Amino acid sequence: MRDLDAAAGHRPVPPPGRRYAHELFTEGHGHATVYLPAETPLPPGAPAVVRESDLPSRTAAVATHSGPHDDLDLTYGAVGSFAARHGRRAQNLVEEVYLVGPRDTGQPERWRTLVAWLTVPDHT
C-alpha cells in the first residue's frame, strides 16, 4: 500500500482494494492483486513495483464487514453462502475494498470492508 500511495501522490483516489484467487484460501498459495483506483496515468517516478492495470467490470454478491479483520472470514462465508443459495456461480475470485481501514484510522472498530464474492454474470 505504501508504494501505491506513493504512486498516487496527493491526488484524491477511491478506496484501495485487494483481489484474491480462491486458491490462496483453499490451498495456501495463489494470485493476489492489491490496487488503488485511479483515472490518470502513473506519474513519473512511481515505484517500479506499481503497474497500471485495468480491472474488468464484475458481478458480485457483496456485504460490508464492520470492525477488525480478525473475523472477516465469517463475512466471506455469509456472502459465499448467499451466492450459492441464489445459484450464482463463483469466478474463483474474491475482492475486498477498504472503505475505512488501517490507513484511515487506528481504531479497528471503525473499519468498514466491502467483501465481494465475484460471480459469473447472469445473461438470462
Mean pLDDT, 10 residues at a time, the chain of 124 residues: 80 84 86 84 83 86 96 94 92 93 93 94 66
In a domain, 124, yes or no: no
CATH code for position 78: 3.20.80.10
117 with 83: CB under 8 angstroms? yes
| Alpha helices, DSSP H, located in 9-124 | 23-26, 72-85
Q: Is residue 75 part of a domain?
A: yes
- Over the stretch 33-68, which tens digit does the pLDDT of each residue have? 888 887 778 878 888 888 888 888 889 999 999 999
Domain count, the chain: 1
Range of the domain at 111: 2-119
Q: What are the CB-based long-range contacts (under 8 Å, 24+) for 7-13?
A: 7/36, 7/42, 7/43, 7/46, 7/47, 7/50, 8/36, 8/38, 9/43, 11/38, 11/40, 13/37, 13/38
Asked if residue 31 is part of any domain, the answer here is yes
- State residue 108's pLDDT score: 96
Tell me whether residue 11 is in a domain: yes
Of the chain, the end-to-end C-alpha distance in Å amounts to 39
Rounded (5°) CA angle 17-7-104 = 50
33 in any annotated domain: yes
What pLDDT, on a 0 to 100 scale, did the predictor assign at position 12?
Answer: 67
Looking at the domain assignment, is residue 62 inside a domain?
Answer: yes
